[in-house]
Amino acid sequence: MPSEHELAETYSTSRPTVRRAVAVLKGEGLVVTEQGRGAFVRPRPHVRLLLTGASYRKHRDAGLTGFNAQVREQGQSPEQRIVDVATTSATTEIASRLAITEGVAVVARRRLFLVDGEPVAFCDSYYPAAMVEGTEIAQPKKIRGGVHRVIEDPQGPIRRRVSRSVDELTCRMPTYDEAAGLKLPPGVPVVRVLRTVFDEEDRPLELQCTLAAADRHEFRYEVAMR
């Protein structure tokens, strides 16, 4: 942005007035300031995520994850970075949703989602270690076609078909580390999405814990009522 002096001259006002106006924009998450460099318009990539059975299968058949496919459909560039893949112990929350005993080993895949190079969400996915041991899911690398391709592979070791998912959404303010990782200015909340994925026998397969920047996402759910 132009300097305070330039803005004051352009709008025939004083520098304190310009400073207060920039502070308002900063508080709304539209502008970020950097010591010694000035004020900058904050990049705000926006992604609209639609969840339906039809869209899920369409993207799966194309060998794409839902996030990547929908971001591309909106004319933007998606990226998923693997932060960590490790075996850990199931917490109470994880165990209750995966229908396992607390403390049992689970494989955690931690990723950072980006749109046009800007971070928009963290996503941690958990799987019973006994189910995914020896598969690509337990390895620290990207999986072509996504985890569900491995789970549903008729020639693979798991061979279970994804049937449905249940989402639980909560909104809160981010921690310091979360705000730093997602490049969030003060005052911008995050949406926490817990998604439990089930197979055709209604057994839980996966727990996804997504922490999404609230001002960079729009969620839409379509549910067929029978």
Q: How many CB atoms lie within 10 A of CB 45?
A: 19
Q: What is the pLDDT of residues 120-158, one digit of tens each?
A: 999 999 999 999 999 999 999 999 888 999 999 999 999
Residue 49, pLDDT above cutoff 80: no
- Give domain 4-41's CATH number out of 2.40.50.140, 1.10.260.40, 3.90.1150.10, 1.10.10.10: 1.10.10.10
pLDDT of 225 over the 50 cut: no
pLDDT at 213 over 80: yes
Q: What angle do CA 52, 58, 64 make, to 5 degrees?
A: 105
Classify domain 47-221 at the CATH topology level: Chorismate lyase (3.40.1410)
**Model pTM score:** 0.78
Give the tens place of pLDDT for each residue, 106-127: 999 999 999 999 899 999 999 9
pLDDT at 73: 86
What is the per-residue pLDDT for 51?
A: 64
* Mean pLDDT, rounded, of the chain: 88
What pLDDT is stored for residue 92 in this prediction? 97
Q: Is 131 exposed, middle or buried (0-12, 13-18, 19+ CB in 10 A)?
A: buried
Render 72-99 in DSSP notation, one character per residue: HHTT--EEEEEEEEEEEE--HHHHHHHT
47-221 matches 4-41 in CATH topology: no
Residue 132 CB burial class (10 angstroms; 0-12, 13-18, ≥19): buried
Taking the domains of the chain in order of start, what are their residue ranges?
4-41, 47-221
For residues 116 and 216, what is the distance between their CA atoms, to the nearest angstrom? Answer: 12
Distance CA 209, CA 136 (A): 20
